[in-house]
Amino acid sequence: MSDHSKRKITVDIYGQQYTIVGAESSSHIRIVASMVDDMMRDINSKNPRLDVSKVAVLTAVNVMHDYLKVKDELEQLKMLIRSEKD
């Protein structure tokens, strides 16, 4: 990825400003930031005594859990498609 294809956008996540640099569209970066913000706020609403770093770690754990579930489902679907081709 060249420096020319990178975008820089400032987003707000959980009351903090972050500058994100990447090749994705600005709208994609905003959507991702909004989803992270929503998840952090949801976790905080259920556990209001947690500090920001714990909310962030729990958010990361939840996101990774969801990612691994989807990744596993994708692999299962790929195996099913391969078996149907045989």
For residue range 63-86, list pLDDT tens digits in order: 999 999 999 999 999 999 999 987
Mean of the per-residue pLDDT values of the chain: 94
Token digits of residue 34: 């909004």
Distances (CA, A) of 47 to 33, 37, 59, 67, 73: 21, 15, 12, 23, 30
Number of domains in the chain: 1
Which pLDDT tens digit goes with each residue over 8-59?
999 999 999 999 999 999 999 999 999 999 999 999 999 999 999 999 999 9
Token digits of residue 30: 């905003």
Are 29 and 17 in contact by the 8 Å Cβ rule? The answer is no
Query: Domain range spanning residue 38?
Result: 3-85
Residue 76's φ and ψ, nearest 5 degrees, are -65, -40
Residue 27's φ and ψ, nearest 5 degrees, are -65, -40
pLDDT value of residue 3: 57
